[in-house]
Amino acid sequence: MAGLKQILAALSRAVWRELRSLNSLTANNFFLVCMLLMLQPQSAFFLLLLLGVLLLFPLSSDPMSKIPASRLSLWPLTRGQLILLRIASFWLSPVVWIAAAIVLWAARPLMGFQFFLVAAAFHVLSIAVSTLLARAPNANLLLHLPPVPTYLGRLVQKNMREVLNMLDAYLAAVMAICGTIYRITKPGADPDAFLGITILTVIALSTYAQCLFALDSGSGFTRYKLMPLAGWRIVAAKDAAYLLVLFPLVLPLAPVAGMAAGMAALAVGHHASVLHRRPQPRWRFTGGANIETGVLQVFCLVSAGVTTYRTAWYFVFLSAAALAGSIWYYGRRLDRMR
Amino acid sequence: MISCRNLSRTFGDFKAVDNITIEVEQGGICAFLGPNGAGKSTTVKMLTGLLQPSTGEAIVAGYNVARQPMELRRAIGVLPEDLGLFDSLTVEEHLLMSGPIYGLTSAETKSRTSQLLEALGLLHGRHTFANQCSHGMRKKTALAMALLHDPKVLFLDEPFEGIDPVTAKTIRDLLTLLASRGVTIFLTSHILTIVEKLATQIDMIRAGKIVWTSAADELPQSLEDHYFELVEAPPVLELEWLGSNRS
């Protein structure tokens, strides 16, 4: 029984650490914009709902999955103890706490139950996907992402996979899909609305531009140090991947303004990406360097996007020039760090 | 081919490498031996440009490590301590990425990649992401990356650890062949039986200082005995509780 208590204590520490990793959301540009929009709650509701739905994936994970299967089967636990562990670990899930809070605190049992069912459906979906990938690794769509046909093509391909390993990309995708559906179903809609959705799409992906090396790990960074590549090429390969993910998202909306905004986000984000590298866990929202960088990034990307959209398309070259200058400067900084 | 003088590296108050001098001729296989924490990996990092030395200078493949980093990177192949792999690339993609970066054509890269995958027994797992591979597969992938561009100097940090005996023999034969063709090899290892058969030069390090340098055939006794005498004698363990239930 004492052993079981220790396992549960370790499990709750692991769950707590995972919950703390969700803190990164507070320095996420999209979250900051949502908080700002809370001044007018109706306009923020949909965006917060999107964030919440995507957050259900990490929140609904089974606490027992944190124990490696081989370790669990090696521990001298009886069948009864394993059942007890399974029951007790259920109560460590954040989803259960939230559902319980809705039931007890808000006194809305039906809503709490519905929330729990939705979370359980997300959990079943994640298990189904990971089981499928374990049995048929070729089903992993990221494996089939084609390399870009240049000599840095594989590097760009790797970088694109990294962008697609963060929830930010999926939030941006949901925004873009909603915008596209709106465009198709409302042909006479105000064109400015598409600019707004484009900007929100870029904001959703912009925090990642502050953490371009976040998923490379120490081992990956060793490889960068060994490669006979100038720093600017390494930074450019990161940017190319980011823009290649962004382009199809903004294409049906306001593509030129979207790319101008994306390039501005990258130009500002290089400082934090190169000089303050911070690892990020996969399948989470990216946490930015700090709120000041986030505010500056959002200001620059909104300015670039709006100016390009409202004034003239060739203002996109201003963003491109800023990006080129930033790549050159932070490439040199990266070289010095290598 | 490898020459360093008075190389030191300090981390705060701790002197990881203390004033070492190493010379390795072209085509030589230098085994750099020592216990964990003696300064082997720090030395490899300084010789490959991964870490700046606190003092001293190193010349590798004719290039000054501190002043000609790009030329050095093109000339050397490295199996680093942390392997230097990207989690988001498969085994095969690591090699396909590496070739063009070192100036190989697409055809050359593909042909060398398939040969290396076959030689190192990586064919069956070539489409597996690096973070899903076993440690042995990861090490073999990093080794293949070190060999792909046909470097002048090879630095291998513990190449045989975690590798199955058959692949270890393949690697040993491959390294002997490379050395006979003029490639200089600098390796660290704890597997003395392999090192004894492979190395042409033995350097031993203890607590950051070189304690032995000679040609492999000039050792006064077997490598293992010499190692235990100079570097670290095995401790006598007195763990009475181990196995006590059965007596």
* CB atoms inside a 10 Å sphere around CB B108: 16
What confidence tens digit (pLDDT) does each residue in B133-181 have?
A: 999 999 999 999 999 999 999 999 999 998 889 889 999 999 999 999 9
Share of chain A above pLDDT 90, in %: 46
Q: Quick one: tokens of B117?
A: 């995958």
Domain spans of chain A?
Answer: 2-139, 153-337
Q: How many residues does chain A have?
A: 338
* pTM, to two decimals: 0.88
Residue among B88, B89, B100 minimizing CB distance to A165: B88
Q: Quick one: tokens of A58?
A: 């990490």
Chain B contact set for A137 (CB, 8 A) = 127-128, 132
pLDDT reading at A153 higher than 70: yes
> Average pLDDT of A213-237?
95
d(CA A162, CA B147): 27
What is the residue-averaged pLDDT of chain A? 89
Report DSSP state, residue B48. T
Predicted confidence band of residue A1 (pLDDT cuts 50, 70, 90)? low
d(CA A196, CA B243): 71
pLDDT reading at B26 higher than 80: yes
CATH code assigned to B2-81+150-233: 3.40.50.300
- Return the pLDDT at A111: 82
Q: Do A226 and B102 touch (CB under 8 A)?
A: no
Residue A293: strand, helix, or coil:
helix
pLDDT reading at B247 higher than 60: no
- Phi then psi for residue B84, to 5 deg, are 65, 50
- Return the pLDDT at B127: 92
Chain A contact set for B86 (CB, 8 A) = 158, 216-217, 219-220, 223
- Return the pLDDT at A146: 87
Neighbouring C-alpha atoms within 13 Å toward the C-beta of A106 = 14
pLDDT reading at B56 higher than 80: yes
pLDDT reading at B246 higher than 90: no
Place of tokens 């900084």: A333
Contacts of A213 (CB under 8 A, 6+ apart): A220, A221, A238, A273, A274, A277
Residue among A155, A222, A230 minimizing CB distance to B97: A155
- Return the pLDDT at A19: 81
Q: Pick the closest to residue B91 from B132, B127, B48 (CA basis).
A: B127
d(CA A94, CA A169): 24
d(CA B41, CA A265): 39
d(CA B129, CA B93): 9
Are B159 and B139 in contact, with CB atoms under 8 Å apart?
A: yes
d(CA A30, CA A33): 5
Domain spans of chain B?
Answer: 2-81+150-233
Neighbouring C-alpha atoms within 13 Å toward the C-beta of A26 = 5
> Average pLDDT of B17-41?
94
pLDDT reading at A305 higher than 70: yes
d(CA A285, CA A289): 13
Q: Do B101 and A215 touch (CB under 8 A)?
A: no
What is the residue-averaged pLDDT of chain B? 93
Neighbouring C-alpha atoms within 13 Å toward the C-beta of B227 = 20
